[in-house]
Amino acid sequence: MEFVLSIVIATIFIFLALLHFFWLLGGHWGMNVAVPTDMNGRRIFNPTRVGTLLVAIGLLIFAFVNLCAIGVLDVPVDAKYIRYGMYMISGIFLLRFIGDMKFVGIFKKYRKSSFAVRDTYFYSPLCLFLSVSNGFLAFVL
């Protein structure tokens, strides 16, 4: 079960990384609902190319950590550090699930924008899944 779960998680991270690389190269699909907006439809922030690149690389590293945890990738790193990495990934996605209490996360106040609706029904639950599953795997592996 742990093997399959880790493969699913790594696949999600790789897909999300590829999506960020797509945006970095000028793609627009999904971009209009990927950034939080205020009640007037204005973006809360405008992602930079460097920021988008860093997120894509981070997501690939998260996939790499999950694949290392189950032995698909062999690295000369003590297993406890891989476990620590998985706990960190779990914490990052738990914080994203909780959000900023205003525009992002389960406790957001603004819930009617296109982003907010997707965040409520897709992005936040996905973050909760990634948090709980990485925490679970870190605990059992």
Indicate the pLDDT class of residue 7, thresholds 50, 70 and 90: very high
pLDDT of 88 over the 90 cut: yes
Indicate the pLDDT class of residue 62, thresholds 50, 70 and 90: very high
- Average pLDDT of the chain is 95
Q: What is the pLDDT of residue 10?
A: 98
Of residues 14 and 141, the one with the higher pLDDT is 14
Alpha-carbon distance 91 to 101, whole Å?
17
Look-up of token digits 């190319």: 49
Percent of the chain with pLDDT strictly greater than 90? 89
Q: What is the pLDDT of residue 85?
A: 97
Task: Give the tens place of pLDDT for each residue, 12-51.
Answer: 999 999 999 999 999 999 888 999 998 888 999 999 999 9
Helix axes 49-69, 2-24, angle to 10 degrees: 160
Three-state secondary-structure class, residue 36: coil
Q: What is the pLDDT of residue 39?
A: 83
Three-state secondary-structure class, residue 94: helix
Closest CA relative to residue 40, chosen from 125, 116, 138 = 116
pLDDT of 123 over the 90 cut: yes
